[in-house]
Structures are given as structure tokens and as C-alpha cells.
Amino acid sequence: MDEKRKEELKEEKFDQYYDFIIKVLSIAKIGKVFSKDPYALDNYNELEKLSMKELENFEHIKFDRPDLFTREIYPTPSISVRTCVFNEENKVLMVREFPEERYSLPGGWCDLYDAPSEAAKAECEQEAGAKIKNLKLIGILNRTPFKIFPAGTPLHKSVPEYVIIFKAELDGKLKEHLFETDAVGFFDVENLPPLSYKVSEGEVKKMILAAKNDKVIFD
């Protein structure tokens, strides 16, 4: 093996290790936001501390991607995904979020460096136990105008959000889902169950109807 190829392999390993550290750091950041368990929070803090220390080893390497945790970057909206999965009766798959016991479309935040399609597939499996196929892009919706905030909350205090909407088919039967939800079911588009407080009826219906009618959303 020539020296050039050796250097390329070495750089690839550095890139892979860097990606691993960023993934662990991302999990730690998310865990600190959502976890309430003191023991879990201690572990997330330790993971964050160890990951930040490991990032110091990469100061001499020029990466094409930004370091999202050690310096300021240009602020942009957060990106999430939602997937409309229909059954043979044209009913849409919805998940009941725990502990509020209200429903939403399967979806969530995109992890760092994951493709939106990967995030959509992962969220469907994790929240609904649904393996999906024939994923189709429906569009992008600016969620910010639809978001509901506590009374008196200034708009600039909120996190602007764009949601990428997909349509997909169920690949096999529903399996056991992992977390965040306590019930899964298909519902008539015109008779939806009580919706999660995190979403609004207007945006949910807009996404579902667009997917049902294969209409592109782009706003």
C-alpha cells in the first residue's frame, strides 16, 4: 500500500471517530434537555464532558463541517420530520405521546449528519413500530406560524422550525415500539383523535391532506 493511500485511510478513520464523538455529544445534549432522572443527568453530563475533551484532539484537523458545540455558528431553524403512513382503507397512522396521551404523526428532530429519510424511517420504527417503504417527499412546512406558545412568550424566544413531510407505505405489520409513545393506531382523516399540545390541528391536517392527495407543500 502506497503512502498516499495510507494517509487517506488515516484521514477516513479520523473522520469516523469525529462523527462518533459528535453523535455521543448530541445524545448527551438531548438527554440533558429531556431527562428528569438525576442519575441519568449525571451520566449525560459525564458523556458531554468526555466528548468535549476528545474534541480537543481534533484541533489540528481541518474538517469541512462546523463544530456545532464549541463555537458560535450562524443561527438557523431546527429541522424535524413527519411521515404520513396510510393503510388500505386510507386511514393515517398516528402515535399517542406519553404522558399527555394525545396523538401526532410519527416524527421528531433530525439527528446531526443523518439524512432526512433516515430520520423519518427511524422515527416510524421507534415511535410506531412501523417499518416503512416507498418513502416519498411531500414537501417542507414552516411550523413556526402554527406553533402554540404559553401566553406572553415572545416569538423570538421560540425555536423556529421547518418540518420535512414524507408519505410512506407500511412494510409488514406493526411491531412493538420503543419509547415516547404508549399507543399506535390508524385513524380516519376526517375524524382525528385528540392532538398533542405540541402540534396544531391546522398543520396536521395540512400535512395529512397533502400526503393523501399527493400534493406538494413548499412554504
Give, rounded to a whole angstrom, the gap between the first and last alpha carbons of the chain: 52
- pLDDT number for residue 75: 66
Query: Can you say how many angstroms the Cα of residue 44 is from the centroid of all Cα atoms in its chain?
Result: 19
Domain assignments of the chain as residue spans, ordered by start = 3-58, 78-218
E strands, 51-201, in order? 78-86, 92-97, 102-104, 107-109, 132-142, 161-170, 181-187
- pLDDT number for residue 196: 92
DSSP alpha helix (H) spans, 77-191: 116-128
Per DSSP, what are the bridge partners of residue 184? 95
Residues in CB range of 21: below 8 A, 6 or more apart: 51, 54, 55
Q: Which residue, 113, 116, 111, is CA-closest to 168?
A: 116
- pLDDT number for residue 12: 74
- pLDDT number for residue 188: 95
Q: What is the mean pLDDT of each run of 10 residues along the chain (219 residues)?
A: 69 78 83 84 89 74 54 73 96 92 93 89 94 97 77 54 96 83 93 92 95 93
- pLDDT number for residue 157: 46
How many other C-beta atoms can be found within 10 angstroms of the C-beta atom of residue 66?
11
How many other C-beta atoms can be found within 10 angstroms of the C-beta atom of residue 212?
15
- As a whole number of angstroms, the distance between CA 144 and CA 148 comes to 9
- pLDDT number for residue 65: 54
- As a whole number of angstroms, the distance between CA 199 and CA 106 comes to 12
Amino acid making up residue 27: I
- pLDDT number for residue 156: 45
Q: What is the CATH number of domain 78-218?
A: 3.90.79.10
| 3-class secondary structure, 161 | strand
